[in-house]
Structure 1
């Protein structure tokens, strides 16, 4: 089957937020997302939480790498108390849009059915702070959303997000180099190889698994009933973003001159995407079978990228 690039909605909050800040000179969100190094692998964290992204990877690990790859810099500030953070945000927003996150999505009550923390990270672009509300472009589908200050500060503390520091934001985005999309992706291939080899400086909790082992273990968990929120996590988030990332990875690798690796990534995208309907209707054997077919593709993708790097010396 020929790979067709995907265009549509999806949970790409930080890539979309970066694209809004970079404006007309921004690369595609696909390039931004893939340049973080996130799509290269699969992880089961602590034996319970699965993501179709690299072992030991969390979004903040890839932000500076992605900006460097595409030729941009920014200034990061974080920490402090709520009052000083709000003042810092208001001052920055008076000068221009501000990239903010991670936020705890459950505190953002303009999202329907959000009533409290759910342990899900989110990123937005802040446009203004005034009159006890924060005006944001929320890339989850809510332009010009007005968020009460107290709700925003609760979300921005990110106490229930498993990475990052409270009150983190980025400003002063500057383009420092003209980089083609193809060159941006070529520059992160060494990182992709390390990610696929499960090389990480992050200390992972006991029971964590990566790549093929993670796929096999998650298949077993699904066959056992996909309990403890696993089914919901997969159908509402992990499958959607995982398939999207891998589809974009296929497009980007092909653009960068890695056709074999691109074909493998496209296969991964189809396998992850194929899990959505079975998981929704609780056809757990079909979803588990897709994961078992996915398991060996990580070694194949690693080998294809290594071979291509050696071949082009």
Structure 2
């Protein structure tokens, strides 16, 4: 199957690709997304008894950025504040200035509802996002936004409102950023595969099982409400399909069995998108059940991984 390259909401991955490129290291976002190890399993965002919200991943973007940079052999500085007051904003600005002295800085999660240069920002309140900050000059932050807005600038005070990420519940803290990258080793492809496999194994050990099957039964009984429809039609299924294709491509030279399962999952998530567009919830429930069965096979193989 050909690899998909196109418009997929991978802001954290694209931001990392940009910061690495600025340092002279070129990695395709599709490859970085596989190393992020985001698109496995499923997690409840809201376990509503009738209309639960489910994302088809078992990782978090901020932790995955750190993992990705480490796997690729980079040393870096990361910063975030679990708690803050107005006095800490001065400290945060100084830290950003310090990191920018050594190159561009990945920043996020941000709350997209406060990114006023995006004409759809009012409809995206509480949606997480990542960008690349390139400069801080006087009262303005300059940035590249991978959602399609290069060369943007915002007043620092307005940017801070997004950077607090108060509505983003998964974050480790506010004002998260990564910078001052230095490569300290160049891992082999086999070493990268091993590190990715260990992360997959750990995440499956730590996360709930049978989430997809639970969701399939819910869809079969109750259909989808408006919020679920919007998430699936605009975001989750197409993202899950792309992620599975990228992981399949990454795995194919190391583990053909897991690579083939990921390819099949990509096809099924594509079908799930079509089912949701047609509002055929019986068929969607059946597709989700097939996804759940394959996901359990993939999970079992990941948990069996022993390394070298």
Shorter-chain-normalised TM-score: which range?
0.7 to 0.9
Alignment coverage as a number of residue pairs: 295
SS at match of 2:167: coil
- 1:34-113 map, 5 Å: 34-47=34-47, 48-54=52-58, 57-79=59-81, 80=84, 81-113=88-120
User: 1:39, 1:246 within 8 Å by CA — same for their partners in 2?
Assistant: yes
- 1:1-313 map, 5 Å: 3-23=1-21, 24-47=24-47, 48-54=52-58, 57-79=59-81, 80=84, 81-115=88-122, 118-130=125-137, 132-162=139-169, 163-196=171-204, 198-200=205-207, 210-211=208-209, 213-223=210-220, 224-227=222-225, 229-255=227-253, 257-305=254-302, 309=305
Q: How big is the shift at 1:252?
A: 0.5
Relative to the length of structure 2, the TM-score reads 0.87
Residue 145 and residue 242 in structure 1: after superposition, are their counterparts in 2 closer, same or farther (change >3 A)? same
Q: How big is the shift at 1:183?
A: 3.3
Residue 114 and residue 51 in structure 1: after superposition, are their counterparts in 2 closer, same or farther (change >3 A)? same
1:230-271 CA-to-partner distances (Å, cap 9, x unmatched) read 11112222222211111101000113x100100001111111
For 2:155 and 2:269, locate their aligned partners in 1 and report how far apart those are by CA, in whole Å.
37
**Ranges of 4+ aligned residues in structure 1 off by more than 4 Å:** none
> Which consecutive unaligned segments of at least 5 residues does structure 2 have?
none
SS at match of 1:78: strand
Q: How big is the shift at 1:22?
A: 1.0
For 2:193 and 2:26, locate their aligned partners in 1 and report how far apart those are by CA, in whole Å.
14
User: 1:34, 1:185 within 8 Å by CA — same for their partners in 2?
Assistant: no
> Which consecutive unaligned segments of at least 5 residues does structure 1 have?
201-209
SS at match of 1:68: helix
1:59-95 CA-to-partner distances (Å, cap 9, x unmatched) read 2232322222111121012235223323432443354
User: 2:46, 2:54 within 8 Å by CA — same for their partners in 1?
Assistant: no
User: 2:99, 2:179 within 8 Å by CA — same for their partners in 1?
Assistant: yes
For 2:167 and 2:203, locate their aligned partners in 1 and report how far apart those are by CA, in whole Å.
26
Moved more, 5-14 or 30-39: 30-39
SS at match of 1:241: helix
Residue 128 and residue 239 in structure 1: after superposition, are their counterparts in 2 closer, same or farther (change >3 A)? same
Residue 306 and residue 276 in structure 1: after superposition, are their counterparts in 2 closer, same or farther (change >3 A)? same
Q: RMSD in angstroms over aligned alpha carbons? A: 2.3
For 2:123 and 2:141, locate their aligned partners in 1 and report how far apart those are by CA, in whole Å.
18
User: 2:80, 2:172 within 8 Å by CA — same for their partners in 1?
Assistant: no
